């Protein structure tokens, strides 16, 4: 591996430029401009085309599948198929004033590449291609087919995966470089649901809550929530708001007709909402002390505050769940919309790997009935729980340890990756065990030293998988 690592060092400036280029594409799902030709928006498709074209230059065979998913494949056409499951789409970026550089700039500041997707998941895309480039330049003969699958809808509904699985070859084994090292052998169950209700106010009410909006993605803790008040007595609301002593509250008259209330929070990934500050929960903590119409909505917000307050473990809701393997259940109040009549709120709930999925879903739905709303399950991704002593896992662990010297055990995570969708698949990197998780946050970034290290880890993993004998990794979804 010494010569391969030297080649990674030699090609590193080129790798950095490649990563900066793919960061420059704003690959957030563009639902306003989605078409039959570009189902997730043209920007995401343009990014895919760029990556496929660059990988062709490295000798890969490429395929763009209806601008929903693509892949780049290299190796012996008669060999077993191994998958490396990446994604090019990203979550939205907000609060630009909190970023050191624009989220699509790929700027290098203090030896770190800044940009949305730098760690989730474009950094892994760059590391994977330049790991394989180094292997090829060193003369390694690939005995297997290695296929880098490039999804475009991982952050939303996995429609890219559904499309791929419908017609394409399924890898015998795969890893998803979209989580953490040393390797991941379990992923918590994820339930995403929506609640809906109508609240109508009479136009002559003295103070009316006209609207609320917060959150763009249910798997991100919202960092901003906004509410608008109207009516002939809105000065009353202004006076009530002046009594709050909170640095996250901002309010003022809006267009001389309304009061705009803005609540700031801290965005983090929904897999650990306790590390953030949920702007919706903060908003409800303010609203439940104010007087406004519709009265039904006023009372409902008070009830919601009692059920959630600022908790993230579902304790007040009555859905606490724990086990000995993974972290406890978490709840993220991810999206809120109200337009003077229709209210909808979306939640991301993650439960431990050994909890029966049917029990988890029934318990959550029964608890949400306390909100007095119509409830609908948007999707339910069941837990993933694998044999951590399988030869496949051991191979990945060895690759990680050989580069880092760290002999840590594999872990269970709260996040969700493509590993759930493919057989014999686990998540593997790119975050180190002690790294701060920067995915979905302002100033998402990856250090130059870390990018180089993960490239070497992936090169070692692919080198070892290239010669591993046929083995079976037992991957079990707990029922």
Known catalytic residue at 313: no
Residues 222 and 441: their CA atoms lie apart, in Å, by: 10
Enumerate residues 6+ apart whose C-beta is below 8 A from 99.
Answer: 93, 114, 442, 443
The catalytic position among 15, 73, 89, 264 is 89
Q: Which of 73, 112, 154, 216 is catalytic?
A: 154
The β-bridge partners of 81 are 145
The residue among 115, 57, 125, 63 whose CA lies nearest residue 88 is: 125
Q: Is 66 an active-site residue?
A: no
168 contact partners, CB below 8 Å, separation of at least 6? 65, 71
Strand partners, 197: 343
User: CB neighbours (10 Å) of residue 98?
Assistant: 14
Q: Is 120 left (phi over 0), alpha (psi -120 to 50) or beta?
A: beta
Could you give the CA distance from residue 201 to residue 195 in angstroms, rounded to a whole number?
A: 20
Give yes or no for a cis peptide into 294 (omega within 30° of 0). Answer: yes
Distance from C-alpha of 413 to C-alpha of 319, rounded to nearest angstrom: 19
Tokens for 439, please give them: 């995915």
Catalytic annotation, residues: 89, 154
């Amino acid at each position: 591996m010494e010569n391969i690592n030297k080649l990674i060092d030699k090609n590193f400036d080129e790798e950095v430029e490649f990563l900066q280029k793919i960061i420059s594409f704003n690959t957030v799902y563009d639902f306003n401009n989605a078409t039959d030709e570009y189902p997730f928006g043209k920007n995401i498709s343009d990014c895919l085309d760029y990556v496929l074209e660059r990988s062709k230059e490295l000798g890969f065979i490429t395929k763009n599948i209806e601008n929903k998913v693509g892949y780049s494949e290299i190796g012996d056409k008669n060999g077993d198929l191994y998958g490396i499951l990446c994604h090019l789409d990203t979550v939205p970026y907000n609060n630009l004033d909190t970023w050191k550089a624009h989220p699509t700039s790929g700027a290098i500041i203090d030896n770190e590449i800044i940009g949305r997707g730098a760690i989730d998941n474009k950094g892994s895309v760059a590391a994977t291609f330049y790991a394989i480039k180094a292997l090829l330049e060193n003369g390694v003969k690939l005995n297997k087919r290695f296929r880098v699958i490039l999804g475009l809808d991982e952050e939303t509904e996995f429609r890219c995966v559904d499309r791929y699985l419908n017609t394409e070859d399924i890898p015998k084994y795969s890893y998803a470089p979209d989580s953490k090292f040393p390797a991941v052998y379990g992923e918590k169950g994820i339930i995403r649901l929506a609640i809906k209700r109508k609240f109508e106010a009479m136009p002559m009410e003295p103070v009316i809550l006209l609207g609320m909006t917060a959150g763009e993605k249910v798997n991100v803790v919202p960092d901003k929530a906004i509410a608008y008040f109207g009516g002939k007595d809105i000065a009353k609301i202004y006076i009530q708001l002046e009594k709050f002593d909170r640095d996250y509250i901002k309010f003022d008259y809006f267009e001389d007709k309304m009061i705009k209330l803005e609540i700031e929070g801290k965005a983090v990934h929904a897999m650990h909402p306790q590390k953030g500050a949920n702007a919706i929960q903060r908003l409800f903590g303010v609203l439940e002390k104010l007087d406004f119409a519709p009265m039904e909505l006023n009372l409902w917000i008070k009830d919601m505050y009692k059920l959630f307050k600022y908790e993230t473990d579902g304790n007040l809701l009555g859905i606490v769940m724990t086990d000995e393997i993974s972290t406890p259940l978490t709840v993220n109040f991810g999206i809120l919309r109200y337009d003077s009549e229709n209210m909808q709120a979306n939640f991301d709930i993650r439960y431990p790997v050994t909890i029966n999925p049917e029990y988890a879903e029934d318990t959550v739905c029964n608890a949400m009935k306390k909100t007095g709303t119509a409830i609908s399950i948007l999707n339910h991704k069941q837990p993933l729980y694998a044999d951590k002593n399988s030869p496949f896992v051991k191979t990945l662990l060895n690759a990680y340890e050989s580069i880092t010297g760290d002999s840590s055990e594999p872990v269970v995570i709260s996040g969700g990756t493509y590993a759930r969708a493919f057989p014999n698949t686990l998540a593997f990197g790119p975050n180190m065990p002690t790294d701060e998780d920067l995915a979905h946050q302002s100033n998402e970034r990856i250090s130059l030293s870390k990018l180089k290290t993960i490239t070497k880890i992936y090169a070692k993993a692919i080198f070892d998988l290239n010669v591993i004998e046929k083995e079976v990794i037992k991957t079990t979804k707990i029922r």
